[in-house]
């Protein structure tokens, strides 16, 4: 049955199951990986930054090609053109690099030259030996799939080059050139492909559908086998799923997939395998941005960059019959086939001097003036600029223009270039490799020009490249490369391991120049990588108990549906917010971007339930600057916000809740959780302060097998009036008016109308039942005076397993106040007993004769101190031995009783490790603490009673107790 590429279920909103594999990019690397995985029955999603190009869409004149070009000029500091434009040109210092963007990648606009990888490249010291095991079979498979064909006719430009090549560029031999172009008019290829008309416009995209670009072979098979294709979507970075790597129980870790693939700071999809095939610049940039968010990568990232020894020149004004201009539709059928310009590159000659010279046809859409004086200089010197203008005028007016052609030099540079990511702008910067053969190539161009006549327009750039290689080099050692020969990305924390499920499969793997057009080389490497990749994915699925069914691509036509990232049907509001303040006494700034509406789009606020409207809930992206703690920015890798959160226990109070998971470049993870608390007291007298103050807690997440203590800091962040106005002015989205009304209504309800939210029936224990209360043991104890009391014991089992030898715990004994349960609060998610157990303390709770459940007649507080507390401590000593010491935490009357017990000599002070007494106001603060290490131990009492004799303490114990009670 015919498969269709769709874009439904694009983002993971908690309902999407994710994918087995996500392939980023659709060039020679990504299309092959997607095809082989889909054919193996794997659930694959392919992401492409550009759009799908039909043959009729390719530019055919200068105005159209300018609109299909994006230029990034570092020298002038400007960028213009669509980000998903077909041609992406990077000008930096004395270098120029051009890449293609679209479904099919570089295969859309290159010459389609299919040349086997030279032996010299395969013998290079950097070349992975593992690739040689099945290189020939992979190369043959790629050539067959790309339908490489020999050129049937020697076109005029090829004839001229044959005459001038011998002797002008040293000893040469003709390189056999095959093209992924259909030349057979009798048997057109599948998918209604056309036949090459030799118009010479290959380098601007074939207007007659004759080129076998990857969207017509590999991608076609992938889609028919079930691959989902997403176009006009740019991947920014990938992050390890926190559920897989860290001890954090949050919403990150959806569906237990390994990786989160982000399209911006907020939207993402999940996958077990991620294959980066976005090209040299694209893949390297994604890894750099992932490294900023904690992905541990080799220091070799960005190194080993090669321009494949590219040098470009333009020869114009020659009397030779070059016929090197492309033809439009009106002219192409007026000329015999063999006299037409032919495909862009139809001849190639390799010199004994170490480089290759190719002639190329200039497409009719290319602006000729760019090649005649604007980006070039002329040789020999003279009036070369005016020659370009005159020649263009003749061309426009229909006069026969002088003959011209493009000269391309390819060779072996030093592969020592560098790719970098500019902080702040997140733009790619690069330094090209040193090309020792450049003077020889220029001299060869000059000799050819001298023999053919005319003017040579040499590029003013030291490096002009369309064949980019390296940056994520494959190597057996992490110190020399980013990936192993199978394309798996090294984990910098351990030189022997790789990041499970993270692959690179494109030209960025190739560690050296190949000396010729690298298309077939890239495809061969991709075929090799795909073999290991498919085995890895299938093994992972079998481990999960899932089976894959091999699929056969349907040879019939296929349909394709494209869609952009943000659909126009979804009601969303985008907000920017900047908050500044101090956390743990250190300056902190949060730059947040929020996308509101993460619920059901058709949902309206349900009256009486207190559930906030979907437009008041959203996802959060951005970064936090906390320089005193981390020198680099902390990026939000997962975050949520609710601007109208209601707690059924406090129905009159309105909360704004922020929950951010932050990633540092060091690999550490942090949680920044904050609340704005709006109370309806005094008719909103403090409304402004409450609405603009975020009370935050900053926590470091402990990694697996880590014994490091959690770092917990508290503080406040605030938004100024200026920043608040900026936030409202910069609101975006089709529901921003509705959003403002909802938020204003929520504040009006809190401060003016003072209407409670929620329903008493909604007050249940579901919020605390998500984590069952620890089970304990109830000990019945009989005191010295014959009274029956009880004491509950909770053991910390995860600490018991870590104790060694004679190590013992120091138990904590909790003493309540009069008829008040202060510590054991099962309805609270973070009561003191849970907190103590999480920190590794065995906990005891005394239920003395003060407790309401214990029937009693007449007694005094002194009885609790004389009999109950000593009985409880004796029980602890009975279980732990006579040498054990006890931490005591006492509240109110319990504090008075423990002082009577110690100072009256009923309990030896040597048995007390520490003592902390809390009054009623302190208790509520303590119950919210997430750690007891801030206050335990607080009061050592080993010397408390040494100055008093045993008898004197007994005589004065009652008097002291009465005085303390009166005070």
Give the per-residue SS3 of 783-824.
CCCCCEEEEEEECCHHHHCCCCCCCCCCCEEEECECCECCCC
Task: Enter the tokens of residue 360.
Answer: 């190329």
The per-residue pLDDT for 953 is 39
Q: How far apart, in whole angstroms, are the C-alpha atoms of residue 280 and residue 507?
A: 6
Q: How far apart are the C-alpha atoms of 265 and 216, rounded to whole Å?
A: 33
From the CB of residue 412, how many other CB atoms can be counted at a distance below 10 Å?
23
What's the pLDDT at 220? 93
pLDDT at residue 16, rounded to an integer: 56
Beta bridge partners of 345: 360
pLDDT score for 455:
86
Which structure tokens are listed for 948? 């008093």
Cβ neighbors of 956 (< 8 A, separation 6 or more) are 948
Report the alpha-carbon distance of residue 67 to residue 257 in Å, rounded. 40
What's the rounded Cα separation, in Å, for the pair 910 and 756?
53
Residue with tokens 């980019």: 468
- The number of beta carbons lying within 10 Å of the beta carbon of residue 813 is 24
- Is residue 251 within 8 A of residue 642, CB to CB? The reply is no
Q: Report, as ranges of residue numbers, the positions in the chain whose pLDDT lies below 50.
A: 1-15, 189, 244-254, 555-569, 600-609, 765-769, 800-801, 803-807, 920-967
Pull the structure tokens for residue 896: 């008075």
Q: What is the pLDDT of residue 459?
A: 87
On whether the CB atoms of residues 595 and 572 are closer than 8 A, the answer is yes
* Residues 840, 843: Cα–Cα separation, whole Å: 9
Separation CA 152–CA 858 (nearest Å) = 114
Burial of 70 (0-12, 13-18, 19+ CB in 10 A): middle
Residue 262 backbone dihedrals phi, psi, to 5 degrees? -100, 135
Question: Which helix (H) or strand (E) is 429 found in, with range?
Answer: strand 427-431
Residues 6+ away with beta carbon under 8 Å from 822:
814, 816, 832, 891, 892, 923, 927
Can you tell me the distance from the alpha carbon of 483 to that of 462, in angstroms, rounded to the nearest whole number?
29
Which residues are registered as beta bridge partners of 886?
A: 912
Q: Which residue has the tokens 């200039």?
A: 362
pLDDT value, residue 607 = 39
What are the distances in angstroms from CA 202 to CA 14, 241, 465, 805?
45, 43, 17, 77
Which residues, listed in sequence order, are joined to residue 92 by a DSSP beta bridge? Answer: 95
pLDDT in the model for residue 945: 34
Segment holding 887, helix H or strand E: strand 886-891
List the beta strands (DSSP E) in 545-616: 559-560, 573-583, 586-596
The pLDDT of residue 856: 66
Task: Give the per-residue pLDDT at 571.
Answer: 62
For tokens 């406040």, name the residue.
Answer: 716
User: How many CB atoms neighbour CB 925 within 10 A?
Assistant: 9
Confidence at residue 967, expressed as pLDDT on a 0 to 100 scale: 38
Residues contacting residue 683 through CB under 8 Å, at least 6 positions apart: 751, 752
9: left (phi over 0), alpha (psi -120 to 50) or beta: left
3-state secondary structure of 773: coil
pLDDT of residue 647: 80
Q: Which of 147, 130, 113 is nearest to 520 (CA)?
A: 113
CA angle 631, 637, 638 (to 5 degrees): 135
Give the CA-trace dihedral at 138, 27, 555, 227, to 10 degrees.
Answer: 110
pLDDT at 583: 95
Q: Which residues have CB under 8 Å from 104's CB, separation 6+?
A: 26, 27, 31, 53, 213, 214, 215, 216, 219
Q: Are strands 44-47 and 19-24 parallel, antiparallel or unpaired?
A: parallel
Q: What per-residue confidence (pLDDT) applies to 62?
A: 86
For residue 552, what pLDDT is reported?
Answer: 61
**931 DSSP 8-state letter:** -
State residue 708's pLDDT score: 57
Q: Cβ contacts of residue 682 below 8 Å, gap of 6+? A: none
Cα–Cα dist 444/356, whole Å:
10
Parallel, antiparallel, or unpaired for β 912-918 and 886-891?
A: parallel
Give the CA count within 13 Å in the CB-facing half-sphere of 478. Answer: 16
Looking at residue 628, what DSSP letter applies?
Answer: T
- In SS3 terms, 314-377 reads as EEEEECCCCCCECCCHHHHCCCCHHHCCCCCEEEEEEECCCCEEEEECECCCCCHHHHCCCCEE
Beta strands in 163-244 (DSSP E): 172-174, 178-179, 228-230, 237-240
Angle between helices 28-39 and 519-543 (to 10 degrees): 30
Closest CA to 514 of 288, 175, 276: 175
Output the DSSP codes for 441-479.
HHHHHHHHHHHH-SEEEEESSSEEES--B-SS-B-SSTT
SS3 198: coil
Measured CA to CA, the distance from residue 54 to residue 60 in angstroms comes to 13
Strand order in the sheet with 78-80: 78-80, 69-73, 87-92, 95-100, 463-465
Cβ neighbours, 10 Å, residue 631: 10
Element (H, E) at 419: strand 417-422
Q: How far is CA 394 from CA 316, 319, 391, 398, 452, in A?
A: 13, 15, 5, 6, 21
Q: pTM to 2 decimals? A: 0.80
């Amino acid at each position: 049955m015919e498969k269709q590429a769709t874009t439904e279920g694009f983002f993971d909103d908690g309902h999407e199951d994710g994918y087995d594999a996500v392939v980023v990019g659709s060039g020679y690397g990504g299309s092959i990986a997607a095809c082989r995985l889909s054919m193996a029955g794997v659930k694959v999603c392919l992401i492409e930054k550009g759009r799908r190009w039909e043959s009729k869409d390719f530019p055919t004149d200068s105005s159209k090609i300018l609109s299909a070009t994006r230029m990034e000029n570092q020298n002038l500091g400007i960028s213009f053109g669509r980000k998903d434009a077909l041609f992406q040109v990077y000008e930096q210092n004395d270098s120029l690099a051009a890449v293609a963007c679209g479904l099919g990648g570089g295969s859309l606009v290159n010459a389609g030259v299919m040349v086997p990888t030279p032996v010299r490249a395969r013998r290079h010291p950097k070349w992975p030996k593992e690739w040689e095991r099945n290189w020939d079979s992979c190369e043959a498979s790629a050539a067959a799939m790309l339908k490489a064909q020999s050129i049937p006719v020697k076109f005029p430009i090829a004839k001229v080059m044959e005459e001038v090549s011998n002797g002008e560029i040293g000893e040469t031999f003709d390189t056999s050139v095959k093209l992924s172009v259909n030349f057979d008019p009798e048997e057109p290829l599948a998918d209604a492909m056309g036949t090459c008309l030799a118009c010479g416009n290959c380098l601007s995209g074939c207007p007659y559908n004759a080129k076998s670009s990857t969207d017509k072979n590999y991608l076609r098979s992938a889609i028919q086998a079930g691959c989902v294709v997403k176009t006009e979507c740019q991947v920014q970075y990938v992050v390890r799923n926190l559920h897989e790597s860290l001890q954090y129980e949050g919403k990150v870790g959806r569906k237990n997939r390994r990786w989160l693939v982000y399209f911006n700071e907020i939207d993402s999809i999940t996958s077990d395998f991620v294959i980066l095939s976005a090209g040299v610049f694209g893949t390297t940039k994604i890894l750099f941005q992932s490294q900023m968010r904690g992905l541990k990568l080799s220091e070799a990232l960005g190194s080993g960059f090669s321009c494949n020894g590219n040098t470009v020149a333009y020869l114009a004004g020659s009397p030779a019959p070059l016929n090197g201009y492309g033809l439009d539709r009106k002219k192409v059928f007026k000329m015999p086939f063999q006299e037409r310009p032919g495909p862009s590159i139809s001849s190639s000659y390799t010199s004994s001097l170490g480089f290759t010279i190719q002639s190329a046809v200039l497409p009719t859409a290319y602006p000729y003036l760019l090649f005649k004086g604007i980006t070039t200089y002329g040789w020999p010197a003279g009036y070369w600029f005016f020659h370009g203008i005159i020649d263009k005028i003749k061309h426009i007016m229909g006069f026969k223009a002088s003959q011209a052609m493009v000269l391309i030099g390819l060779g072996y540079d030093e592969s020592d270039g560098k790719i970098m990511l500019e902080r702040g702008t997140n733009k790619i910067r690069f330094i090209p490799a040193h090309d020792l053969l450049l003077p020889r190539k220029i001299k060869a161009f000059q000799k050819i020009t001298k023999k053919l006549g005319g003017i040579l327009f040499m590029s003013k750039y030291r490096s002009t490249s369309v064949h980019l290689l390296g940056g994520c080099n494959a190597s057996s050692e992490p110190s020399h490369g980013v990936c192993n020969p199978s394309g798996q990305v090294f984990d910098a924390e351990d030189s022997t391991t790789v990041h499970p499920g993270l692959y690179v499969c494109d030209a960025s793997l190739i560690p050296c120049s190949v000396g010729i057009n690298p298309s077939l080389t890239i495809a061969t490497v991709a075929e090799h990588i795909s073999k290991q990749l498919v085995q890895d994915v299938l093994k992972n699925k079998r481990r999960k108990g899932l089976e894959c069914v091999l699929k056969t691509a349907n040879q019939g036509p296929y349909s394709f549906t494209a869609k952009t990232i943000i659909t126009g049907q979804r009601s969303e509001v985008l907000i920017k917010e900047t908050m500044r303040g101090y956390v743990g006494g250190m300056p902190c700034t949060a730059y947040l971007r929020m996308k509101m509406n993460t619920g059901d789009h058709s949902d309206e606020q349900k009256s009486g339930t207190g559930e906030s409207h979907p437009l008041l809930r959203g996802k959060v992206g951005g970064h936090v600057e906390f320089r005193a703690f981390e020198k680099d920015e902390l990026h939000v890798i997962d975050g949520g916000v609710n601007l109208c959160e209601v707690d059924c226990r406090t129905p009159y109070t309105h909360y704004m809740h922020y929950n951010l998971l932050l990633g540092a470049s060091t690999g550490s993870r942090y949680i920044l959780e904050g609340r704005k608390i709006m109370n309806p007291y005094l008719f909103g007298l403090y409304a402004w302060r409450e609405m603009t103050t975020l009370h935050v807690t900053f926590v470091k997440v402990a990694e697996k097998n880590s014994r490091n203590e959690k770092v917990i800091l508290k503080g406040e962040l605030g938004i100024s009036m200026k920043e608040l106005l900026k936030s409202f002015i910069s609101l975006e989205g089709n529901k921003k008016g509705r959003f403002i009304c909802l938020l204003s209504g929520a504040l009006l309800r809190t401060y003016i109308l003072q209407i409670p939210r929620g329903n008493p029936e909604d007050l249940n224990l579901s919020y605390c039942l998500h984590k069952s209360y620890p089970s304990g043991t109830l000990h019945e104890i009989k005191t010295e005076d014959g009274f029956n009391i009880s004491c509950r014991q909770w053991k910390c089992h995860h600490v018991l397993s870590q104790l060694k030898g004679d190590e013992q715990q120091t138990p904590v004994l909790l003493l309540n106040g009069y008829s008040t349960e202060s510590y054991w609060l099962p309805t609270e998610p973070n009561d003191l007993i849970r907190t103590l157990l999480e920190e590794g303390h065995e906990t005891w709770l005394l239920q003395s004769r003060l407790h309401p459940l214990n029937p009693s007649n007449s007694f005094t507080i002194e009885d609790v101190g004389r009999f109950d507390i000593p009985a409880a401590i004796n029980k602890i000593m009975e279980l732990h031995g006579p040498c054990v010491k006890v931490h005591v935490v006492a509240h109110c009357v319990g504090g008075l009783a423990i002082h009577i017990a110690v100072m009256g000599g009923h309990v030896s002070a040597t048995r007390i490790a520490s003592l902390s007494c809390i009054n009623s106001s302190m208790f509520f603060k303590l119950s919210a603490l997430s750690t007891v290490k801030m206050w335990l131990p607080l009061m050592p009492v080993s010397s408390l009673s040494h100055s008093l004799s045993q008898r004197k303490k007994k005589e004065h114990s009652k008097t002291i107790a009465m005085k303390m009670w009166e005070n």
